[in-house]
Amino acid sequence: MKNLLKLSSLLAVLVSIFMACSSDNDSTDDDDDEGTATLHAAFEAFNTDATTIYLDGSNVVIETTGLPDHETVYWGEGNALYREEPGVALTPSIMTSNNNAVTITVDATPNLTGNTVSTQVNTIGIAVSGSSLFNDQEGNGALDAAAASLDWTGAHIGPGVYHYHLEPKAFSDDDDNLVGILLDGVFLYGRKCNSTGTYPTDLDASGGHTSTTQYTDGQEEYHYHIINEIYSTTGSYLAFAGPYQGY
């Protein structure tokens, strides 16, 4: 009788150990965070005076005043950030004459299906300065005709917002700096890649590839680079000509 009692209590201990183990496994499975988006570390590089950046479900919303944190002739005389640029064929607008505000919503995780989507003549992304990025087109044609109006950092004001077409030298000049984020949720970097310290040689048709960056904590991630070919007579480089890879 005594032995039987011992046996049954031993069984009870064994059963409780087994249950403890299996419940541990269950709780590990319950820690499944798939689908819970987090704000990418690269957003820390954005101009906080101009931008408000937050998660909305699986999307990231980027609200910006569009006003950059660097000098340009397009601030207009009298502004603290006004820079004299006699060589620039000015458009009729200055920063304060236009509404430069833009809000974009992008996937927190780009949808890299292999499908590509062309860029439009409008904001194609938001730069770390807070201003818009545009592609290689201008209004009703190629950018060449409007290139004379681009300031020292590859930007101008068309009828709409202040925007960059070229390598924005105010914050990326032949380096691996973060340039901005495009509408497909993919980040755009300078002409060099942080993964190698030099110009990448494995870029696809969009100027993109998969490697680590200074914001990915050792993980490989798809991103674009500024096109490392002198564009037209500008002596500079196109920021992005498309197509998007992340829609």
Residues 57-96 that bind Zn ion (CB under 5 A): none
Instruction: State the nearest-atom distance from the C-beta of 25 to Zn ion, in Å.
Output: 39
Residue 238 touching Zn ion (CB under 5 A): no
Instruction: State the nearest-atom distance from the C-beta of 163 to Zn ion, in Å.
Output: 6
Instruction: State the nearest-atom distance from the C-beta of 156 to Zn ion, in Å.
Output: 6
Instruction: State the nearest-atom distance from the C-beta of 203 to Zn ion, in Å.
Output: 8
Instruction: State the nearest-atom distance from the C-beta of 167 to Zn ion, in Å.
Output: 15
Residue 243 touching Zn ion (CB under 5 A): no
- With contacts defined by CB under 5 A, name the span among 21-29, 103-111, 206-214, 232-240 that binds Zn ion: 206-214
Fill in the DSSP letter of residue 244: B
Contact status, residue 52 vs residue 65, Cβ threshold 8 Å: no
Closer Cβ to Zn ion, 138 or 167, answer by number = 138
Q: Which residues contact 35 (CB under 8 A, 6 or more apart)?
A: 58
**Residue showing tokens 């990418």:** 40
Closer Cβ to Zn ion, 125 or 200, answer by number = 200
Q: β-pairing, 178-182 with 51-56?
A: unpaired
Residue 158 touching Zn ion (CB under 5 A): yes
Which one among 193, 238, 239, 241 touches Zn ion, defined by CB under 5 A?
193
Instruction: State the nearest-atom distance from the C-beta of 28 to Zn ion, in Å.
Output: 34
Binding pattern to Zn ion, positions 112-141, x when CB under 5 A? --------------------------x---
Tell me how far CA of residue 123 lies from CA of 4, 72, 88, 227, in angstroms. 79, 19, 22, 18
* CA dihedral sign, ordered 191, 209, 245, 69: negative
Q: Where are the beta strands (DSSP E) in the chain?
A: 51-56, 59-64, 102-107, 125-127, 132-133, 137-138, 141-142, 155-157, 162-164, 178-182, 187-189, 208-211, 221-225, 230-231, 236-237
Burial of 63 (0-12, 13-18, 19+ CB in 10 A): middle
- With contacts defined by CB under 5 A, name the span among 7-15, 89-97, 119-127, 203-211 that binds Zn ion: 203-211
- With contacts defined by CB under 5 A, name the span among 43-51, 76-84, 166-174, 192-200 that binds Zn ion: 192-200
Instruction: State the nearest-atom distance from the C-beta of 68 to Zn ion, in Å.
Output: 15
Spatial distance between the Cα atoms of 122 and 46, rounded to a whole number of angstroms: 20
Number of residue whose CB is nearest Zn ion = 193
Binding site for Zn ion (CB under 5 A): 138, 158, 193, 200, 211
